[in-house]
Chain A
């Protein structure tokens, strides 16, 4: 009987064959933390171990509140720097121009590698599955324990298979697929599972499009989400890999899945996740014409160069009707957008561009909402109060739908602009 991706990845890391529901202990290839490396370092100190098991397995990327918007955040960053120096951690991305949102940096800097095991103290760590990594989010205590021991236990998850065929019609993006999928199965539809994406529909997608999908695996409860490590992945990671210790693997054709779903991309329409849950999906038609107050093009979900290109194409030569905040996912993306002239398009259209980072996605700064305001966002969560105010309303959509809506000042269909 064949094995799923999760069974193969965890089995290889554990050094023996495993099947779903076995409990294994593995050594992660990389442990990612962001600003929360500071509080984790305090928990680590309480364990009674002086040095982390191997500093080269730890990656710290400051992104949640950068540059520091308050003295508390500044102190937090200072604590991270001191721990980095004390422990000799090489893989550190400070508030500098090689950084950006942690999940973007992990992928573009060559940490997200096929067949590796990566844990992160952020729930969207599942993003790296776009490169065929088994990656998952864990809590602070667990991260501190992993730094100390180099080991973490997992129950091998049951798996869900999503078969994807077809190609995106004009105005439809991979965000529309994942929002629809979460809407169909619910916010707990993949609870504890490995969500594995298969089929020609996935193969024809860019890595950026796949990252949007795996990024949101957690929004349906997935332990991880993954796509096949095909030629596109191999071509991308070959020259940038931060370690030589990786080898691709993928599910067997006869693997056993707990759940199977199929989507034809040709059937998709632009959609929205309406307040205040990610599974509250509706087609754009349902909301078209309703007023918005802010548009946000950013976050680890949808602020890559491909996303900015798509939005710029819609905004080019026009003016936005509401305040529109553009936050590239990393400085590398920022630089590329400058080279391609996308920044001029955004500025000419009236958008405000800020530095790469998480920005307003989880309510820290750079775009907090006022009571009663409606925001259309490319981020991954629309929880009540997520962007800093509990009387506001967040709608999630693709960069194309966000750009079209920004132009009109109301929810708009990108197929019609």
Chain B
């Protein structure tokens, strides 16, 4: 990870945000990640216009089990390529977490995060220390720093880059 401190406006989502809500089945045929953000949260009630309203640098905050459901990586790309630098959640589903790591996309486990961050708050997150500051309310909380192997994969920018570095391919 090159950048370790992110500051931005929070979009707060609830628990069990599934992969169909993040990125629907209908658009699975798309393979260019640049095309994916326009469909982000199209099926999420009240967030249908997310793609038009999100700004580069905004931070996504969610409750428990974010990304449950399908193995589709589109659900990672749709947020990453929308310019969201990090997703913070109470917890992530296993495949979503793995897909994020393998694509060099920073995610942070922070139990209780939705108790201290509301929609629209300005927050700052330090990926190295796990510290999260709510700049709007002054509240602070902590997330779990990323584990070693995951950190190494992410530091290369993702699994493919990591493998190339390991095998000597360029």
Residues of A within 8 A of B (CB): 23, 36, 39, 42-43, 46-49, 72-73, 76, 121-123, 137-142, 144-145, 148-149, 153, 155, 186-188, 191-192, 218-219, 221, 223, 277, 279, 362-364, 381, 383-386, 388, 390
Give the interface SS of chain A, mostly helix, strand, loop or mixed. Answer: loop
The reply to whether B73 and A383 contact each other, CB–CB distance below 8 Å, is: no
A-contacting 9-mer, from B5-13, B63-71, B118-126: B63-71
B43, B70, B76 interface centre (most CB from chain A within 10 Å): B70
- For the complex with contacts A43-B160, A142-B159, 5 further pairs of A-B residues with Cβ separation under 8 Å are A141-B99, A141-B103, A221-B68, A383-B19, A386-B20
- How many whole Å from B110's CB to the nearest CB in chain A? 15
The reply to whether A141 and B159 contact each other, CB–CB distance below 8 Å, is: yes
- How many whole Å from A182's CB to the nearest CB in chain B? 11
The reply to whether A187 and B16 contact each other, CB–CB distance below 8 Å, is: yes
- How many whole Å from A250's CB to the nearest CB in chain B? 23
The reply to whether B16 and A47 contact each other, CB–CB distance below 8 Å, is: no
Selected from A73, A140, A381, A385, the residue in CB contact (under 8 A) with B43 is A385
- How many whole Å from B112's CB to the nearest CB in chain A? 15
- 24 residue pairs of the A-B complex, CB under 8 angstroms, read A42-B31, A43-B160, A46-B160, A48-B169, A48-B170, A72-B29, A121-B71, A123-B70, A137-B71, A140-B72, A141-B102, A141-B159, A142-B98, A145-B163, A149-B167, A188-B91, A191-B91, A221-B65, A362-B25, A363-B24, A381-B18, A381-B69, A385-B20, A385-B25
- How many whole Å from B105's CB to the nearest CB in chain A? 11
The reply to whether A145 and B26 contact each other, CB–CB distance below 8 Å, is: no
In angstroms, Cα B97 to Cα A138, docked, is 11
Q: Which residues of A contact B71 (CB under 8 A)?
A: 121-123, 137-140
B21 at the binding interface (Cβ < 8 Å): yes
In angstroms, Cα B98 to Cα A138, docked, is 8
Given contacts A148-B163, A385-B20, contact A188 B64 (CB under 8 A): yes
In angstroms, Cα B24 to Cα A219, docked, is 17
B146 at the binding interface (Cβ < 8 Å): no
B51 at the binding interface (Cβ < 8 Å): no
The reply to whether B68 and A187 contact each other, CB–CB distance below 8 Å, is: yes
Q: Which residues of A contact B167 (CB under 8 A)?
A: 149
The reply to whether B65 and A191 contact each other, CB–CB distance below 8 Å, is: yes
Given contacts A23-B149, A47-B164, A144-B160, contact A123 B169 (CB under 8 A): no
Q: Which residues of A contact B64 (CB under 8 A)?
A: 188
Selected from A43, A142, A145, A188, the residue in CB contact (under 8 A) with B16 is A188
The reply to whether B25 and A363 contact each other, CB–CB distance below 8 Å, is: yes
Q: Which residues of A contact B68 (CB under 8 A)?
A: 187-188, 219, 221
| Nearest A-chain residue to B64, judged by Cβ | A188
Q: Which residues of B contact A39 (CB under 8 A)?
A: 31
The reply to whether A139 and B29 contact each other, CB–CB distance below 8 Å, is: no
- How many whole Å from A74's CB to the nearest CB in chain B? 11
| Nearest A-chain residue to B48, judged by Cβ | A390
Q: Which 8 A-B pairs have the closest CB atoms?
A: A188-B65, A139-B99, A48-B169, A383-B20, A385-B43, A363-B25, A123-B71, A137-B71
